[in-house]
A and B are shown apart, each in its own frame.
Chain A
Amino acid sequence: MASIVTRVKQKQIAELIANEKRADGRGLKEYREMKIEPGLIEKAEGSARVLLGKTEVVVGVKVETGEPFPDTPNDGVMTVNAELTPIASPEFEAGPPNEDSIELARIVDRGIRESKAINTEKLVIEPGKKVFVVFIDIYVLNHDGNLIDASALAAVSALINTKMANYEIKDGEVKIKPGYEQLPIRKHPITVTTAKIGDKLVVDPIGEEEQVMDARISFAIDDDGNICAIQKGGSGYFEPQQIMEAAKLAKDKAKELRKKLNW
């Protein structure tokens, strides 16, 4: 339960935002400073570390061979998993994935899947029998709010950075050849999360802002500016007008970030 000190702090933050100000001096619609470090895990086929203010996320991508799903024999497989490691916050506990980590993984998954970011058709070795399976593992190392945007950013950064094995088929058997080739990526979705605090919309909430927010809404925006996934979260509500506002805001912010990232 929230201590008295946090309750006082929460009130301060809400009052600041009511006056269009934020605890860290940012504008309501401004992102924190962003840093991306690709390829820091040499043993993974792809990886990236993202710093969004004090929020830190590492994503590792492993590519292995496996069976396709029976209903999509001509597509490779992609799975996303998220770990809220106890390293990252006093609130996190070790153990099997809870609803927060499952939700986080599924939001990131939907952004990548629905934008068709990975060309899964090119991951087929033998239709219906053998395909490449792309495992995207999100590791949260420090939680200071907006894990969704940081994780989505780290996941796509890691995918861009992913190399998969060369292979050839000899006498019906798959042989791995030396050398690597780039994982086929055709889209770069960017997820923008907006929190509703009082009647104000705030982009990229920090941890303390998330504690006072009524609700949040995340939009994944693809390279053409289309919306490809949405998730509302939190125990509050949005008015329809606020949703349209958040959608436009997400589109603008995604465009701005895309330019900065050169995606």
Chain B
Amino acid sequence: MNDKPEKLIDKKGLRLDGRKPDELRPVKLEVGVIPNANGSAYVEHGKNKILAAVYGPREVHPKHLSLQDRTVLKCRYHMAPFSVQERKSPAPSRREVELSKVIRECLEPAVFLEYYPRTMVDVFVEVLQADGGTRCASITAAALALADSGIPMRDLVAACAAGKVDDTIVLDLMDTEDKLGAADVPVAFMPNLNAVTLLQMDGTLNQEEFETTVNMALEGCRKIYTMQKEALKTKYVNVSEENKDEEEAEE
């Protein structure tokens, strides 16, 4: 912590990477990236690079976990050993176990689990590169992968964090801001249902700051939500254009 920059926000009110307080990092979303999976998505959120794949509905393993009235949603959040500065052991850490749980619980309200009793749906998230805010980017990716797999959903889940850096409330903290900032509040949101499905926090905020932070994060979620819908549409535009080309070639 000795090489800590003196200020995380400069005199002009800009952040270390030149963003304004309420500005998202560049986000790139793509669906259908893993041919073998039933649904998949790739997310670049700032320097975060994350892959999500969905397999299922399929047979439940181990069998005794099977539920008579709905599908079992499983989720595994995992970081690649090379995703961070110092190599991370590939064995699941306590942090990864907790995040797998909260990500699963944040996706469950979105999925019509009751449509597929006695089955299991696996959501696998691999963080290829991490730079702060991986749980949010993972949720964005996982929701897209679920939608891409064609499993009926009530809404997409979009996620984004906000927090406090120096004395400013900012959107979408990157790694340095997360580590040196005063508070980080990741939020996942289903805009159509007005439903918050993930909320965590560490740091210190008073009541007023907390409300501002959550509202800012919700705004970020709405922006990401628009991009998610766009990414899903883009896949089908591409598919239909490919078909058109083929038809023309045949003629």
Q: Quick check: is B152 within 8 A (CB to CB) of the other chain?
A: no
Most buried by A among B185, B190, B203: B203
Contact between A240 and B194 (Cβ–Cβ < 8 Å)? yes
A:211-232 near B, CB below 8 Å: 215, 217, 222, 225-232
Contacts of A87 in B (CB 8 A): none
**Interface residue count on the A side (C-beta < 8 Å):** 37
CB within 8 Å for A237 and B195 given contacts A71-B1, A230-B185, A243-B214: yes
Q: Quick check: is B242 within 8 A (CB to CB) of the other chain?
A: no
Q: Quick check: is B67 within 8 A (CB to CB) of the other chain?
A: yes
Contact between A239 and B200 (Cβ–Cβ < 8 Å)? no
Contact between B214 and A240 (Cβ–Cβ < 8 Å)? yes
Complex Cα–Cα for A161 and B205 (A)? 28
Contacts of B67 in A (CB 8 A): 1
Q: Which of A106, A115, A230, A248 contacts B199 (CB 8 A)?
A: A230
CB within 8 Å for A240 and B218 given contacts A1-B67, A103-B101: yes
Contacts of A236 in B (CB 8 A): 109
Distance to closest chain B CB from A61 (angstroms): 19
Complex Cα–Cα for A227 and B97 (A)? 24
**Number of A-B pairs, beta carbon distance below 8 Å:** 95
Contact between A235 and B200 (Cβ–Cβ < 8 Å)? no
Q: Quick check: is A86 within 8 A (CB to CB) of the other chain?
A: no
Contacts of B1 in A (CB 8 A): 71-72
Contact between B98 and A103 (Cβ–Cβ < 8 Å)? yes
Q: Which of B101, B105, B194 contacts A239 (CB 8 A)?
A: B194
**Interface range on chain B (Cβ under 8 Å from partner):** 35 or more
Binary flags per residue of A60-97, CB closer than 8 Å to B gives 1, else 0: 00000000000110000000000000000000000001
Contact between A226 and B206 (Cβ–Cβ < 8 Å)? yes
Binary flags per residue of B185-222, CB closer than 8 Å to A gives 1, else 0: 10000100111111111111111001100110010000
Q: Which of A99, A105, A110, A251 contacts B101 (CB 8 A)?
A: A99
Q: Which of A99, A105, A106, A237 contacts B197 (CB 8 A)?
A: A237
Most buried by B among A226, A231, A236, A240: A240
**A/B interface sample: 11 pairs, CB < 8 A:** A71-B1, A72-B1, A99-B101, A106-B95, A114-B203, A225-B206, A231-B200, A232-B197, A235-B109, A236-B109, A248-B207
User: Hey, which bits of chain B sit against chain A, CB under 8 A?
Assistant: 1, 67-68, 94-95, 97-98, 100-102, 105, 108-109, 185, 190, 193-207, 210-211, 214-215, 218
User: Hey, which bits of chain A sit against chain B, CB under 8 A?
Assistant: 1, 71-72, 97, 99, 102-103, 105-106, 110, 113-115, 215, 217, 222, 225-240, 243-244, 247-248, 251
Q: Which 9 A-B pairs have the closest CB atoms?
A: A237-B195, A230-B201, A235-B108, A232-B199, A99-B101, A237-B197, A237-B109, A114-B202, A102-B97
